[in-house]
Amino acid sequence: MSYCLNPNCPNPENLTCSDKCQACGSSLLLRDRYRVLKALGQGGFGATFIARDEVLPGQPSCVIKQLRPTATAPHVLEMARELFEREAVTLGKIGNHPQVPRLLDYFESGEQFYLVQEYISGATLQQEVKAKGQCSETSVKEFLTDILPLLQYIHSQKVIHRDIKPANLIRRAQDSRLVLIDFGAVKNQVSQTLALRSGQTALTAYAIGTPGFAPPEQMAMRPVYSSDIYALGVTCIYLLTAKSPKDLDYNPTTGEMMWEHLVQVSPHLSGVIRKMLEVSVRSRFQSADEVLKALEMEPYLQDLEKGMVSRPVDVTKKGSGKRFEDSGILNNHASVGFSSGGVAQVAAAIRARRAKLVEATASGNQRSTVSKLATWNQESTNATSGSKSQSVRQFNTEGLLSAYTKGRRDFASYNLALLNLQGIDLSEANFHASVLERANLQGSNLYNSDFGRASLNRANLKDANLNKAYLSHADLEGADLRGADLSYAYLNHANLRGANLCGANLTGAKVSDEQLVLAKTNWMTVRPNGKRGLL
């Protein structure tokens, strides 16, 4: 079918082979190259169509936006044209990012303005949720880990999107990457100097955004970078609850969205989302990088910080600072207590110490990672509470299975090394930062489970179902993954050195070629692109 772009055409649908509209006589080949196939949607300021570029080889699909405001008042036309031009400028500026549609053309024809951009094949997050229902905590973590670096890039270009929502996020069919679309509401040329001086950016000309997703300052025409973070937080709630903001209740006193009673998520993720949704701009995360760092903060570090805040350590007392000094955590900080800023420094130091322990293991240190983690945990606990000993949280096989059967799903930061869990259903469980070294998980159902930063060194995962599992920063060195289903698993930054991936299915998995060259593969391995064979 050929579609007529004349806004006043009474019957825009025509035969594919037609050159002229049979209803109004308008040309059906825009700029002598673009043949519009069908309408995709109509907004307040423009209409969107899918088209075919008949000049390029293969006649690839593209998206055409036509400036078509629903009102004809002069100020509305001026606003529509400004937003239209702004979208073209922004796409031309940032459209070289793989998660942003590329700008292909921008022109005026027949007193109409047109914008041509790359066509993204796939379903929006809104369509996914309507088809499949609410998402798991692991899926939301993957979503944030995928979209936050993009948001960081957009903000580095001094651009505020101002309309982040599920309908504007498409999961690209070819690689399952999320693509952010509809930059028609962006605010660019943000003055950070003004923002720092006055606490806000300059007034925008129009209050733009989707009610419920846009924060108060944006609706008051004062958007800042963290306005996008608020909208991203609301999007997370939509994914977790399958409810739009208008279907949720709000606290009549504070105006805050009430959602936590509708979901079952870890306190860690709940806390991150709450801070993304702070009504006060000052209390909200200020950058995408801050959110990423908060997501990577292990649950046991949060417990440590809470303990420090509630029970400040008096390092002036004899012996109280000794253990921290021996651990390399405190240095020349005698006679000081722990403020919230000091807590963050201690947490960072502990992470650095833990990283050194992992490096020591890799270089041939004879102590196992399990015993090192136990020592590290004991030292940290002794330092904060003054106790003489504290064992690592553990489960035996029977205890773990009993807890899971009773509905428990959170096993973060536990020592589960050497457990025999062969053929067990542990789907959608949280093993974040847990130790599972040499654990037998052969044939187990680990669908959608969280193994972020977990140690799976030499674990037996043969024929395991790890579909959509979250394995970011996990240590899989020497693990047996023969025949495992890793389709659409998130393996970014995972250590795959010496891992056996012969016959494993990595279709749609988030993993780099650099990671895979360190692993063992064979002609039966299904690569992320869906093809079998060696890299």
Question: What was the pLDDT predicted at 350?
Answer: 53
Kindly give the parts of the chain with pLDDT less than 70.
Answer: 43-45, 69-74, 76-77, 80, 111, 184-207, 297-392, 534-535
Question: What was the pLDDT predicted at 346?
Answer: 52
> Any idea which fold 2-118 has?
Phosphorylase Kinase; domain 1 (3.30.200)
Which residues partner with 510 through β-bridges? Answer: 490
Question: Is 3.30.450.20 the CATH classification of the domain at 393-535?
Answer: no
CA atoms of 454 and 444, how far apart (whole Å): 17
CB proximity list for 100: less than 8 A, separation 6 or greater:
91, 94, 150, 154, 179, 180, 183
Question: What was the pLDDT predicted at 535?
Answer: 61
- Nearest to 116, CA basis, from 67, 81, 64, 66: 64
Summarised one tens digit per residue, pLDDT across range 293-352 is 998 764 444 444 444 444 444 434 444 443 433 333 333 333 333 344 444 555 555 555
Q: Residue ranges per domain, the chain?
A: 2-118, 122-296, 299-385, 393-535
For residues 280 and 229, the answer to whether their CB atoms sit within 8 Å is no
Question: What was the pLDDT predicted at 341?
Answer: 46
Question: What was the pLDDT predicted at 438?
Answer: 95
Question: What was the pLDDT predicted at 248?
Answer: 93
Same fold, 2-118 and 393-535: no
Q: What is the set of active-site residues?
A: 163
Q: What pTM does this model have?
A: 0.62
Residue 530 φ then ψ, to 5°? 90, 0
Q: How far is CA 455 from CA 353, 357, 412, 497, in A?
A: 16, 13, 12, 13
122-296 falls under which CATH superfamily?
Transferase(Phosphotransferase) domain 1 (1.10.510.10)
CA atoms of 195 and 225, how far apart (whole Å): 10
Question: What was the pLDDT predicted at 5?
Answer: 87
